[in-house]
Amino acid sequence: MNNEDVFIIGHGMTKFGEHFDKSPSSLASQALMETVTNAQLEKELIQSIFFGSLVTNTNSQASVGASCIRECNLSIPLTRIEAGTASGAAAFQQAFQGIRSGLFDCIAVVGVEKLSDFVNSSTIEKILGTTIDYSWEFEMGATLTSLYALLTKAHMKEYQTTLEQLALVPEKNHRNGVNNKNAQFQKEIPLERFLSAKRISEPIGRFDPATHCDGASALILASSEFVSNNLKSNDLTEVLGLGHASDHLALHHRESLTALSATQIAAKNAYDMAGISSADINVAEVHDSYPIGEILAIEDLGFFPKGEGGLAVEEGKTKINSEVSINTSGGLKSRGDPFGATGIAQIIEIVEQLTGQADKRQVDDHNFGLTQNVLGTGAMAYVNVFGKKEVKK
Amino acid sequence: MEPPKIWREKRQRYLGIGVKCLDCDYKAFPLTSFCPSCGSGNVQEYKLAEKGRIIQFTQVNQTSNDMMANVPYAIGIIELEDGIKVTGQIVDIDYSLIEIGMPVRMVLRVLSKDGTEGLIKYGFKFIPVD
């Protein structure tokens, strides 16, 4: 180990779903304390916390982090990071930078969202509207779902991607989610249900999008020095590479409707930093908020050639223990999508896979894992690459 | 939507005013005080082309409360004749008749209504060209 190495030493999350009896900060506290227990640390060793959340004012409380650390009886620096539906991954990357810079040795990251408090679905549409170009897309009548419908139609037209191939994405993810005790929906949905459902924004059907729910997730990151001083021998997950890139906020300003260039650039940067290629990745959690999201992701991350994502899904190349195991947790679709908590839950799944704790979802080869978290229709993308490392004392 | 925002954007929304660079000829929408391409401050407002064609489209069934009166409606990306691309609703045509590449024209319509006593927001939408 050298001083620049950054490790994930603890992880924890609440079940995702509807928590009508819990406030946003109590969900965050629950995930944080579970993570402290998981890391077998004294919580006072945490030096700083980054919170990832999109909705600024659930229950009129601006900084959910402030009430969370009060509940946990901590008085340490805290910062809330907002990057839309990718806020969790953004907070994670800030924590990484905090340790890599040498400023801190041990940082917690918490992602939280409480969306069941918004009982009117129009309010959620408006929140989602803030992740696209609010003035020139949302106020003109477009919604996040309708923009993903445009991306879907463009891919179908250009590459002959079929509705069946698209429906196989959530069908697979629900099958994976059956074995994830923290998933909102631990049940299979037959392919036919996706295909026969009413179209909410043609060609997207009612069962295609991920659901917007409640949940919190947390990680503790530490430097190699902190690991040698405070932890016993263990299999740890090492953060090998990060990538973060942006693109035009509005779809109509983009060069292409059949690729997310932010994902492509972020992936290249993450692979370069890690010194590996897309072919080395065994297991990946990608942003499948809509079926086309996963198909674009597996192409733009370099797992499959452009235009062949739909075919790869159809041929079963993304199932557990296939060419590359995609969304073994069930993805956003089956796990549920509490925006800020999603990016961190993706990393938790990779940590469990790389350290062999994924139980019935466990993939056989688990040397390298990847997460991809996207803001809106791809205006920002965060890609992280992880490896496993045996730490001996 | 807040009144100052409506006031600030009214010429863009009501008239389709964009900006062009007098140094490099780059055109942009929405308005900027400098050229997004070359960075020059030597820019001039101009009226966007009124006609264009549909690049891609779909239908909206669920949106925020102030626009729900119009659902279901068609929304699409339109490429105007001056090369500018915008997102807008496609109206005055049955959804099943809309096609990619179809020529359309910009018109002024009501975008949203904030209840029965709130502000009415106007903006451009697109209709088929005869």
Q: Which domain holds residue A79?
A: 6-119+212-236
Give mean pLDDT, residues B26-45.
Answer: 96
Q: Please give the residue of chain B at the shortest CA–CA distance from A132.
A: B87
What is the pLDDT at residue A392?
66
In this structure, the answer to whether residues A288 and A369 fall within a common structural domain is yes
Q: Report the CATH fold assignment for B49-130.
A: OB fold (Dihydrolipoamide Acetyltransferase, E2P) (2.40.50)
Are A202 and B76 an interchain contact pair (Cβ–Cβ within 8 Å)? no
Which of A129, A136, A153 is closest, CB to CB, to B87? A136
pLDDT value for A3: 61
Taking an 8 Å cut-off on Cβ atoms, the answer to whether B56 and A139 are in contact is no
The nearest CA of chain B is from the CA of A242 a distance in Å of 29
Residue A132 lies in a domain: no
Q: Does A256 touch chain B (CB under 8 A)?
A: no
Contact A283, A329 (CB under 8 A): no
- Do the beta carbons of residue A368 and residue A387 sit within 8 Å? yes
- Count the residues in chain A: 393
Task: Pick A65 or A183 by higher pLDDT.
Answer: A183
The pLDDT of residue B1 is above 70: no
DSSP assignment of A228-287: HHH--SEEEEEEEEEEEEE--SSGGGSS-SS--HHHHHHHHHHHHHHT--GGG--EEE--
In percent, the amount of chain A with pLDDT more than 90 equals 91
For B80-126, write each residue's pLDDT tens digit. Answer: 999 999 999 999 999 999 999 999 999 999 999 988 888 999 999 99
Q: Answer yes or no: do A256 and A358 share one domain.
A: yes
Q: Are residues A45 and A187 in the same domain?
A: no
Query: Over the stretch A194-215, which tens digit does the pLDDT of each residue have?
Result: 999 999 999 999 999 999 999 9
What confidence score (pLDDT) does residue A60 get? 72
pLDDT of residue A389: 85
Do A217 and A289 fall within a single domain?
no
pLDDT of residue B22: 98
Cβ atoms of A137 and A89 within 8 Å: the answer is: no
What residues of B are in the A interface, CB distance below 8 Å? 1, 5, 9, 30, 55-65, 67-68, 70, 73, 75-78, 85-89, 100, 111-112, 121, 123, 125
- CATH at residue A196: 3.40.47.10
In terms of domains, do A248 and A319 share one? yes
Q: A183 and A229, same structural domain?
A: no
Name the average pLDDT for chain B: 95
pLDDT (mean) for A122-129 = 91
User: Does the pLDDT at position A234 exceed 90?
Assistant: no
Q: Do B123 and A121 touch (CB under 8 A)?
A: no
Q: Nearest-5° angle of CA A33, CA A39, CA A43? A: 50
User: What residue of A is the nearest CA neighbor of B113?
Assistant: A139
Chains A & B: contacts with CB separation below 8 Å = 92
Q: Examine the domain organization and report whether A174 and A219 are in the same domain.
A: no
Band of residue B55 on the pLDDT scale cut at 50, 70, 90:
very high
CA distance B102 to chain A (A): 16
Cross-chain CB nearest to A143 (options B62, B78, B100):
B62
Of A231-235, A338-342, A356-360, B41-45, minimum mean pLDDT range: A231-235
Question: In this model, does residue A2 exceed pLDDT 70?
Answer: no
Confidence category of residue B33, pLDDT binned at 50, 70, 90? very high
Helix residue spans in A8-143 (DSSP H): 24-39, 64-71, 87-100, 121-129
Q: What mean pLDDT do residues A109-115 have?
A: 96
Give the nearest partner residue to B56 out of A122, A133, A150, using CB atoms: A150
Measured CA to CA, the distance from residue A178 to residue A329 in angstroms comes to 9
pLDDT for the residue numbered A30: 97
Together in a domain, A226 and A295:
no
Q: What CA–CA distance (Å, rounded) separates A129 from A230?
A: 45
Would A178 be classed as within a structural domain?
A: yes
Q: Are A178 and A224 in the same domain?
A: no
Q: Where are the domains of chain B?
A: 1-48, 49-130
Contact assignment for A143 to B56 by CB distance below 8 Å? no
Distance CA A101, CA A272 (A): 19
Residue A224 sits in the same domain as residue A194: no
Where are the extended beta strands (E) located within A317-379? 325-326, 368-375
Instruction: Give me the pLDDT at residue A318, please.
Output: 98
Sign of CA dihedral B97, B101, B105, B107: positive
